[in-house]
């Protein structure tokens, strides 16, 4: 009788491992689908921004409302760094000549 119980317990453990493996595969597939969907959303948003259908400032504000601080920084870093209304330190013309911006140097 005890041998049968041990066999059943071993079989139960095997079934539980198999269930866990199947669930892990399903979750992985779901994550991959979600990632692909999010990438496609991003492509659409970038195209709409380039086409002028979405105002970058409104996009940044929407991100601020929805995303965590860390995700906001990641999602809007490129947009915010190229923003024209961003505050910059004042630089004199002499300083500009000493350290020209990348790509703006007139070196012959």
Full-model pTM: 0.56
Which whole-number Å values give the CA distances from 39 to 1, 85, 96, in the listed order? 57, 28, 39
Question: What pLDDT is stored for residue 12 in this prediction?
Answer: 98
Domain ranges of the chain: 1-43, 52-82
Q: Show the tokens assigned to 39.
A: 């990438």
Average pLDDT, the chain: 82
CA distance 76 to 37: 19
DSSP per-residue letters across 7-44? HHHHHHHHHHHHHHHHHHHHHHHHHHHHHHHHHHHHHH
Both tokens assigned to 82: 């190229």
Angle made by CA atoms 17, 23, 28, in degrees to the nearest 5: 125
73-106 per-position pLDDT tens digit: 998 888 776 554 444 445 555 555 555 454 454 5
């Amino acid at each position: 009788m005890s041998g049968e119980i041990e066999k059943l317990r071993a079989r139960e453990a095997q079934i539980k491992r198999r269930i866990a493996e199947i669930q892990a595969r399903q979750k992985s597939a779901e994550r991959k689908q979600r990632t692909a969907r999010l990438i496609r959303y991003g492509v659409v948003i970038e195209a709409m921004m380039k086409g002028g259908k979405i105002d970058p400032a409104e996009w940044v504000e929407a991100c601020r409302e929805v995303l965590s601080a860390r995700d906001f920084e990641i999602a809007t870093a490129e947009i915010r760094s190229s923003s024209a209304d961003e505050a910059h330190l004042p630089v004199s013309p002499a300083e500009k000549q000493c350290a020209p911006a990348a790509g703006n140097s007139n070196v012959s």
